[in-house]
Amino acid sequence: MAAKKKAATFESALEELEQLVERLESGDLPLDEALADFERGVKLTRECQQKLASAEQKVKILMEENGQVQELPFDAADQRPGEPE
């Protein structure tokens, strides 16, 4: 039975991406390694974007009230609509 590769969390993908950027910015990598790191970075960036889009969609669904999305300013996110400030 082949083991499935566990999907990385957003945080671990972002951390790996930051490490790749540091390596690439150092300028000390051979071209082949730099290209491989760049390719991995592009993949991680896409994964992070997908995870963020998914999280945003979940938040919108949770914020939906009577078929209408209740968008709030970020600083008011801890208040519920209709509650006094």
20: CATH: 1.10.287.1040
The answer to whether position 70 is within a domain reads no
Stated pTM of the model: 0.64
Cα separation, 53 vs 51, whole angstroms: 5
- Domain range for 49 is 11-64
Which of 74, 63, 58, 55 lies closest to 10, judged by CA? 55
Domain count within the chain: 1
pLDDT tens-digit readout, 32-70:
999 999 999 999 999 999 999 999 888 888 877 666 766
The answer to whether position 29 is within a domain reads yes
The answer to whether position 73 is within a domain reads no
The answer to whether position 85 is within a domain reads no
3-state SS, residue 69 = strand
The answer to whether position 47 is within a domain reads yes
